[in-house]
Amino acid sequence: MFDQKKIKKEFPIFSRKINGKPLVYLDNASTTQKPECVLDALTNYYSSHNANIHRGIHQLSEESTVAYEAARKRVARFIHARKSDEIIFTKNCTDAINLVAKGFASQIIGKGDEIIISAFEHHSNLVPWQELTKAKKAGLKVVPLAKDLTFDMNAYKRMLSTRTKMVCMTAQSNVLGTVLPIKKIVQEAHKVGAYVLVDGAQSVGHGKTNVQSLGCDFFAFSAHKMLGPTGVGVLYGRYDLLEKMVPVIFGGDMVTIVEQHSAQYQRPPYRFEAGTPNIADVIAFVAALDYLEKIGLDAIHAHEQKLTTYARTRFSEYSGVNIVAPPLEYSGGIVSFIVPSVHPHDVATVFNQEGVAIRSGLHCAEPLVRSLGVDALCRMSFYLYTTQEDIDRAVRALQKTRQIFCRAKT
Amino acid sequence: MDLYSEIILDHYRNPHHARLLQKPSVRVKEHNPLCGDTIELDLLIQNDHIENAGFKGTGCAISQASASMLMDMLIGKKVGSVKKLFSKQVIAMLGVPLSPARAKCALLPLVAAKHAILKLNLQ
Ligand SMILES: Cc1ncc(COP(=O)(O)O)c(C=O)c1O
């Protein structure tokens, strides 16, 4: 049963008031709120098991190690990796992408080669590729937006060639909500022998993910965008490719035999996790995954679709309010909009006065936002605890915004 | 107290000196990466005084009102007085409560003005 009212009660933050009004949180693409079970898992870990992993003989260290490695298995199961050794814990999605850029892509890219990304990319899946292609004198190609703000498959196909070594694409735009046809993107890339990294930050907690059926070579995401704690990212990589990837951070835990002047590295994934990892948050992440699967990812997906449809309908009742989005069937649970002659910061400020948290600005995707011909956008992004009443509250905030700003200019 | 006071909204709707000058003594451009706003600011200096000023840019109500009020405030002042103008005074001039993020919007025009004077001194 999908009961958001009950779900909401399981997130302590929703007892908070903002400016005297119950919090409506519509900034889930930035980060999500945490259910009680995740907070409990953190407390439980620190109060009953806390110890460093992979190094102690004592009981607490054993318990922590088992729980940490169980988390790796749990994540593997969640995204349908072949085995848990294909899961590397990083500090966030950005960190995971950088690891692929520095540890893997840098090995296979040379002068004149090319990397293809899309115009939808978050800075996290853009700047690492700018840096790498600059350093290697390689080319960075960008698949443009189609007119309807979807992915331009034909343009992409035309860009692919034997020079293409990597294709790095987001599964869902954090600005427009556009869902990209990842499976097809992967198939086309593999035809020319290119490897594919998927930035799953916006997709993975919002619907079922199967990295094997997607066929991608790497898949990166952040725990905090799917009810988990901050400070945990995941890189999935096909094991044979992880064996080719070189570590970029060196130190304890990632080594086997260490002599004074040289060292041997552990096998993947351990060689990519130097130093004490974020043990507590990785373990608490399991509670988030359990919670998401208990509710059901298909149910979450359907719920977000319903909310998106509703929000678009309600917001488009206001003349001039411009929804910047692809056709509904290509959209995830994100609605970006512009109120004419009101700056998005002012919109977000009035929404905040009404207790409604939305994002405004460039959304860490400056080239994309600029290409839409605007200086900034307002964005509402939904999740499993978002209700229709939340959107009604947003509509009221929109009315308020118009009252304040849209009196005729004198 | 309301952030969007009538005074702020008046300046936002009808900003003063919201145009660039024909022959400025100095022109600068400032950018706020948080909101993506950009402001261009011109000063015309004569006999060590700010004879005229103007700005161009898109931005939120707070940054636009701040720019508009700052132009009014600067015109006629001695060049040296800009150095002694601080964020506190600009925020007081706006007269509304500002969160730290919104204070950045409010202060962009001041940053531009200070930058302009610096550039002028280097010319
Ligand atoms: C599409 C996309 N990729 C990557 C990221 C980066 O995630 P993190 O900041 O957790 O590394 C985000 C976060 O906003 C995102 O939306």
Residue B112 lies in a domain: yes
Average pLDDT, chain A: 95
Q: Which residues contact B74 (CB under 8 A, 6 or more apart)?
A: B43, B50, B53, B82, B113
Respond yes or no on whether the N-terminal peptide bond of residue A269 is cis (omega within 30° of 0).
yes
Please report how many Cα atoms fall inside a 13 Å half-sphere around the Cα of residue A128, on the Cβ side.
25
A189-225 per-position pLDDT tens digit: 999 999 999 999 999 999 999 999 999 999 999 999 9
Residue B49 lies in a domain: yes
The range of the structural domain enclosing residue B42 comes to 6-122
A82-91 per-position pLDDT tens digit: 999 999 999 9
Q: Give the total number of structural domains in chain B.
A: 1
CATH topology of domain A39-293: Aspartate Aminotransferase; domain 2 (3.40.640)
In this prediction, what percent of chain A has a pLDDT beyond 90?
A: 91
> Which tokens go with A280?
């507590």
Contact between residue A49 and residue A41 where contact means Cβ atoms under 8 Å apart = no
Residue B12 lies in a domain: yes
Burial readout A198-228 (b: 16 or more C-beta within 10 A, e: otherwise):
bbbbbbbbbbbbebeebbbbbbbbbbbbbbb
Q: Which amino acid is at A10?
A: E
Any idea what the CATH number is for the domain that residue B71 is in? 3.90.1010.10
Number of neighbouring beta carbons within 10 Å of residue A232: 27
Q: Mutate one of B1, B2, B4, B14 to test the A interface: name it (highest A CB count within 10 A).
A: B4
- Which chain B residues contact residue A342 at CB under 8 A? 61
Distances (CA, A) of A53 to A56, A276, A362: 7, 8, 40
Contact between residue A257 and residue A15 where contact means Cβ atoms under 8 Å apart = no
Distances (CA, A) of A14 to A24, A304, A348: 8, 19, 19
Tens of pLDDT along chain A (410 residues) come to 578 789 999 999 999 999 999 999 999 999 999 999 999 999 999 999 999 998 778 999 999 999 999 999 999 999 999 999 999 999 999 999 999 999 999 999 999 999 999 999 999 999 999 999 999 999 999 999 999 999 999 999 999 999 999 999 999 999 999 999 999 999 999 999 999 999 999 999 999 999 999 999 999 999 999 999 999 999 999 999 999 999 999 999 899 999 999 999 999 999 999 999 999 999 999 999 999 999 999 999 999 999 999 999 999 999 889 999 999 999 999 999 999 889 999 999 999 999 999 999 888 888 888 888 888 899 999 999 999 999 999 999 999 999 998 764 44
The residue to which tokens 């947003």 are assigned: A394
Instruction: Determine the CATH number of domain A4-30+296-405.
Output: 3.90.1150.10
- Which chain A residues contact residue B60 at CB under 8 A? 343-346, 349
Q: What is the 3-state secondary structure (H, E, C) of chain A?
A: CCCHHHHHHCCHHHHCEECCEECEECECCCCCCCCHHHHHHHHHHHHHHCCCCCCCCCHHHHHHHHHHHHHHHHHHHHHCCCCHHHEEEECCHHHHHHHHHHHHHHHHCCCCCEEEEECCCCHHHCHHHHHHHHHHCCEEEEECECCCCCECHHHHHHHCCCCEEEEEEECECCCCCEECCHHHHHHHHHHCCCEEEEECCCCCCCCCCCHHHHCCCEEEEEHHHHCCCCCCEEEEECHHHHCCCCCCCCCCCCEEEECCCCEEECCCCHHHCCCCCCHHHHHHHHHHHHHHHHHCHHHHHHHHHHHHHHHHHHHCCCCCCEECCCCHHHECCEEEEECCCCCHHHHHHHHHHCCEECEEECCCCHHHHHHCCCCCEEEEECCCCCCHHHHHHHHHHHHHHHHHHCCCCC
A15-70 per-position pLDDT tens digit: 999 999 999 999 999 999 999 999 999 999 999 999 999 877 899 999 999 999 99
Chain centre distance of CA A311: 22
E strands, chain B, are 26-32, 37-46, 49-58
Residue B1 lies in a domain: no
> Which tokens go with A11?
């997130």
Please judge whether A345 and B3 are an interchain contact, meaning their C-beta atoms are less than 8 angstroms apart: no
Residues of chain A with CATH 3.40.640.10: 39-293
Please judge whether B36 and A369 are an interchain contact, meaning their C-beta atoms are less than 8 angstroms apart: yes
> Residue A375: which of B3, B9, B58 has the nearest Cβ?
B58
Q: Mutate one of A18, A127, A345 to test the B interface: name it (highest B CB count within 10 A).
A: A345
Residues of chain A with CATH 3.90.1150.10: 4-30+296-405
As for the ipTM of the complex, it is 0.85
* Three-class SS state of B83: coil
To the question of pTM greater than 0.90 for the whole model, the response is: yes
**Distance between CA atoms of residues A337 and B96, nearest Å:** 27
Interface of B with A (CB under 8 A): 3-4, 9, 13-14, 33-38, 58-62, 102, 105
- Determine the pLDDT at residue B59: 86
**Distance between CA atoms of residues A219 and A197, nearest Å:** 6
In this prediction, what percent of chain B has a pLDDT beyond 70?
A: 98
